[in-house]
Chain A
Amino acid sequence: MHYLLTYRSLTYAQRAARILERAGVTGTLSRVPKDAAKRGCAYCVTVAPRHRDRALAVLRGAGLSPERVLLRHDDGTWEAVSP
């Protein structure tokens, strides 16, 4: 299980991933799964559940809050959660 912090723009997602890295939060940049992307291609930073709150706080502080936060379960299903 992990969280996907999603962005419509690759550039924003890249910046988010770099800011998290600088803050010591491990996150992986990738594309949003097709069935979870609301409007076609989108990008996300994947973080472990234990990093979620800190990641969101860091990103909020940098003015880079994600468009959505998705919880992806181990079986591939997902659900939108409140940031």
Chain B
Amino acid sequence: MIYLDSAATSFQKPAAVAYAMSRALRTMSSPGRGGYESAMAAADTLLDCRLALADLFCVKDPERVVFTSSATHGLNIAIRSLVRPGDRVVISGYEHNAVWRPLHGIGARVDVAASPLFDPDAALGAFRRKLPGAAAAVCTQVSNVFGFILPVDRIAAACREQGVPLIVDASQGAGGLGLDFDRLGCAFAAMPGHKGLLGPQGTGVLLCGTALPAPYMYGGTGSVSDQAEMPDFLPDRLEPGTHNVPGIAGLLEGVRWVSRKTPAALLAHERELLAALSELLAGDGRVRLFAAREPSCQAGVLSVQFRGMDCEDAAAHLAARDVAVRSGLHCAPLAHRTAGTQREGTVRFSFSPFNTLREVRDAAAAVKEMLA
């Protein structure tokens, strides 16, 4: 199989990920539930993972690195902590349903700062116009549909100027793009463990700013146990219940691998693959590519439409040729609305550090065979 759906989940992982998970299952119990060896081994793994993530994302205090089950879980915590019914919340035109639906569920007034695809200056301008008086803002670092890199640094600065707390959805950026969390001064950044960080499914991370977030779930934390209220300190306040220790052990190895290789090198590799696929498919009148003129605006995600062919049919044809891609709206109808692709959807090719140029050439050949 040629796996080109890493924007959904990275499928190939460093070998150390599976090994660490298996070892955790054999040797670790639950942190904070006892002083015996297996509990302490689990606690050490969690702290090692917090420290590795704090280092990668420039968070001074590892306590502000909170483990979640997914980016969606983290975004729900962040949004519930900041937004009340009726609040006006500014979001980019490229947000995922993991942002749109929680805001809708709360009853917030969602104010979309829509801007053209691959135009970072326009994205910043749209935020600047809408930020005054907003209760909060949410911005994805990278569009999961188009790979468009939004200017999160500049949007964060605009939010700071206006005193508007910012939530960054780093789901597609983490592991490829840098994120200097403390310098950005945002309220939260949420990310999955199972995409660019190369950890297993069921892991996620929420980076928290210096303000104490509201609790989201309630339960045992192995700390201040005789009080009814959740602890007033992180990470315990946001981590009730039993941790996914095998998952976090795997995530730790994924983060270590990414840190060793460096996100910049991994992004460069994915951009090389994206450029190669774009070049191989360009020039065919039946193919519409969503590729940025300026490569620095796009991460390793390429959306495509095939004229006269439904995107689901195209993905099914490719799957039959052992090429795994994602089709449809990619859980991001807002992004399609913004780009004008909501009716047809797109076929999305997304890359990982383990993909090769040969795989890209074979995938392009499969597309040409499909169109023939």
Closest Cβ of chain B: how far from A36's Cβ, in Å? 13
Smallest CB gap from A40: residue in B? B225
Which A residues between 30 and 61 are near B, CB-CB below 8 angstroms? 30-31, 39-43
Q: Tell me the count of chain B residues lying within 8 A, CB to CB, of chain A.
A: 22
Q: Which of B13-21, B40-48, B174-182, B333-341 contacts A (4 or more CB under 8 A)?
A: B40-48
Judge whether A41 and B63 touch: CB under 8 Å: no
Q: Is A10 an interface residue (CB 8 A)?
A: yes
For chain A, give the interface size range.
Answer: 10 to 19
Judge whether A8 and B47 touch: CB under 8 Å: no
Judge whether A10 and B63 touch: CB under 8 Å: no
Bound-state CA distance A31–B225 (Å) is: 13
Q: Is A77 an interface residue (CB 8 A)?
A: no
Bound-state CA distance A18–B40 (Å) is: 13
Closest Cβ of chain B: how far from A69's Cβ, in Å? 18
Q: Is B62 an interface residue (CB 8 A)?
A: yes
Q: Which of B117-125, B207-215, B228-236 contacts A (4 or more CB under 8 A)?
A: B228-236
Q: Which of B32, B225, B226 contacts A10 (CB 8 A)?
A: B32
Judge whether B236 and A9 touch: CB under 8 Å: yes
Closest Cβ of chain B: how far from A58's Cβ, in Å? 17
Scoring A residues 1 to 45 as 1 if CB is less than 8 Å from chain B, else 0, what string do you get? 000000011111011001000000000011100000001111100
Contact (A10, B222) CB under 8 Å given A15-B62, A29-B40, A31-B35: yes
Closest Cβ of chain A: how far from B252's Cβ, in Å? 15
Bound-state CA distance A12–B61 (Å) is: 10
